[in-house]
Chains A and B, each alone.
Chain A
Amino acid sequence: MKSLISINDFNKEEMMQVLDLARKYEAEPNCPIFSDKVIACIFFEPSTRTKLSFETAVSRLGARVIGFSSLPATSIAKGESLKDTIKMVSNYADMIVMRHPLDGAARYASEIAGCPVINAGDGANQHPTQTLLDMYSIWKTQGTLENLSITMVGDLKYGRTVHSLLQAMSHFNPRFRFVSCPELEIPWEYEHFLDSRNIPYSQHNVLEGQIQDADILYMTRIQQERFQDPMEFEKVRNLMSLDASMLTDTKPNLKILHPLPRVNEIATDVDERPEAYYFDQARNGVFTRMGIITYLMNQ
């Protein structure tokens, strides 16, 4: 029995197996191979986007969905421990997909559940299915995951998708450019991680000029709450926003990714450009999650 809690739970080979399955499901999305299974989607905090994506994936695999979404309707509001809730749900389900506001909640759940657990986001920690769908999008658009130049932009300090993607791509000999402001720079432990693997990277404060040799431009949202001074926020956001005029002299294979929802770090005039891939990226989420469910169910 295997769970997917952190992207580090999968080695390179396992990642590629999931991506292969995702490609198969994209070619043939209706594969009701798990019509005898019940999958619980339990969301201790709301996330409509992720929940819909998972429920679609479960439905396309023919399994039935049970579950609940966020407080306060459930017994968690009455003080029931996470442990008791997980024990109860794992009596009913063959697999648990869970999202929780606290870091590490999914790992803990996987230790007490009697069935595989998929982490659909645990606080600021991990969101491995997002990472795998990012990888699927990169793989699909570039034809390979090897030797790519990836520019990551925005909130690199708190952005968990950035951290997980960086860890996952470290298996594939990448080069990174990080574009951020001093307040939101990549944490030292990730610099240390890259150094220890001899992965080249550079840091910048302005997006302009960091796009031209990129294969992948990975944009993330900057949250205003991170700044005490609203003026500072505006200034920083302008330095890290993308518009169509900046997409000149870029590589022909460049694709722009964003885990969504975006605010205005990508101007809408980019949406019609061939480099814009963020909406397709979201669609890839269903196929990738079908691949993850299948891989874990068959372990």
Chain B
Amino acid sequence: METKKKLKVSAIRNGTVIDRIPAEGLFHVIEILGLAKRDLQMTFGTNLESKVLGTKSIIKITDKFFEEDDVNRIALVAPDAVLNIIKEYKVVEKRRVVIPSEIYGLVRCLNPRCITNHELIKTRFTTSMTSDGIVLRCHYCEKETEQKNLQIISNN
């Protein structure tokens, strides 16, 4: 069990541990969940060893539990992420993130000629999985943005 291995960052009593974040995805996850803007007690671990990812990051957030829709938004940058729900130092639930079928806001359309890059419009995409990862299809210009080209819109 992952949690028994001692997560190299001190344990929390109640809250959420987001595990298996790709090392380079840590700051995106913080941004997407708006963690920096809240008065939350958090600890981060980064460049930890991971059998699945090589290296990974984790975030522990005290006294914070997420709504499913909220947390699935991080699937774009951390598709393998696992949420450990902690109550009284014990993992009471493990949840994998699920890629939402539609994504509103959050990501910029890669097409410079897309109307969403010229007017104040909330972006909107449908998602699909390919062998190269997630592909987002823009609801407006109908062009596809691949996972490796994703640009997260800040202050969302």
Partner of A102, one of B118, B120, B138: B118
- Which residues does B use to contact A, with CB under 8 Å? 111, 113-116, 118-121, 138-144
Contact B141 A103 (CB under 8 A): yes
**Given A102-B113, A123-B113, do A108 and B144 touch, yes or no (CB 8 Å)?**
no
Is A126 in contact with chain B by the CB < 8 A criterion? yes
Task: Tell me how far the C-beta of A291 lies from the nearest C-beta in chain B, rounded to whole angstroms.
Answer: 24
Whether, in the assembled complex, A104 has its beta carbon less than 8 Å from a beta carbon of chain B, the answer is yes
> In the complex the two chains form, is A107's CB within 8 Å of B140's CB?
yes
Q: A123, B141: Cβ atoms under 8 Å?
A: yes
For the complex with contacts A103-B140, A122-B141, A123-B113, 16 further pairs of A-B residues with Cβ separation under 8 Å are A82-B115, A100-B115, A102-B113, A102-B115, A102-B118, A103-B114, A103-B141, A104-B114, A104-B115, A104-B138, A104-B139, A107-B140, A108-B115, A108-B116, A108-B119, A108-B121
Q: Which residues of B contact A83 (CB under 8 A)?
A: 119
Q: Are B119 and A6 in contact (CB under 8 A)?
A: no
- Chain A residues within 8 Å of B, Cβ to Cβ: 6, 81-83, 100-105, 107-108, 122-126, 189
Docked Cα-Cα span, A83 to B115, in Å, equals 11
Q: 25 A-B residue contacts at CB 8 Å?
A: A6-B142, A81-B119, A81-B120, A82-B119, A102-B115, A102-B118, A103-B111, A103-B113, A103-B114, A103-B115, A103-B141, A103-B143, A104-B114, A104-B115, A104-B138, A104-B140, A105-B115, A107-B115, A107-B139, A108-B116, A108-B121, A108-B140, A123-B113, A123-B141, A125-B143
Residue of B nearest to A105 (CB): B115
Q: Closest CB-CB distance, A188 to chain B, in whole Å? A: 9
Q: In the complex, what residues of A have CB within 8 A of residue B144's CB?
A: 189
Cβ of B121 to closest chain A Cβ, rounded Å: 6
* From A81, A100, A126, contact of B142 by CB (8 A): A126
Q: Indicate if the CB atoms of A103 and B142 lie closer than 8 Å.
A: yes
Question: CA of A200 to CA of B120 in the docked complex: distance in angstroms?
Answer: 42
Alpha-carbon distance between A241 and B113 when the two chains are bound, in angstroms? 30
B68 to chain A, nearest CB (A): 27
| Residues on A with beta carbons closer than 8 Å to the beta carbon of B120 | 81
Separation of A125 and B116 alpha carbons in the complex (Å)? 14
- For B121, the chain A residues whose CB sits under 8 A away are 108
Q: Closest Cβ of chain A: how far from B141's Cβ, in Å?
A: 4
B141 touches A125 (CB 8 A): yes
- In the bound complex, CA of A292 to CA of B116 (Å): 27
Which residues from B are CB-within-8-Å of A107?
A: 115, 139-140
Contacts A82-B119, A108-B121 given; does A102 touch B142 at CB 8 Å: no
- Report whether A124 and B113 are in contact in the complex, using a CB–CB cutoff of 8 Å: yes
- Measured CB to CB, the nearest residue on chain B to A163 is B142
- Of chain A, the residue at the smallest CB distance from B139 is A107
Taking the closest CB of chain B, its distance from the CB of A58, in whole angstroms, is: 25
Q: Which residues in B have their C-beta under 8 angstroms from that of A82?
A: 115, 119
Minimal beta-carbon separation of A88 from chain B (angstroms): 15
State A82–B117 Cα separation when bound (angstroms). Answer: 13
Bound Cα distance from A82 to B120, whole angstroms: 10
In the complex, chain A residues whose CB is within 8 Å of the CB of B119: 81-83, 108
Tell me whether A102 and B114 are in contact (CB under 8 A): yes
Closest 6 CB pairs of A and B: A104-B140, A103-B141, A104-B141, A104-B115, A105-B115, A102-B115
- Identify the closest chain B residue to A102 (Cβ): B115
Cα of A133 to Cα of B141 in the assembled complex, Å = 22
Interface centre among B120, B138, B139, B140 (most CB of A within 10 A): B140
On chain B, the residues within 8 Å of A125 by CB distance are 141-143
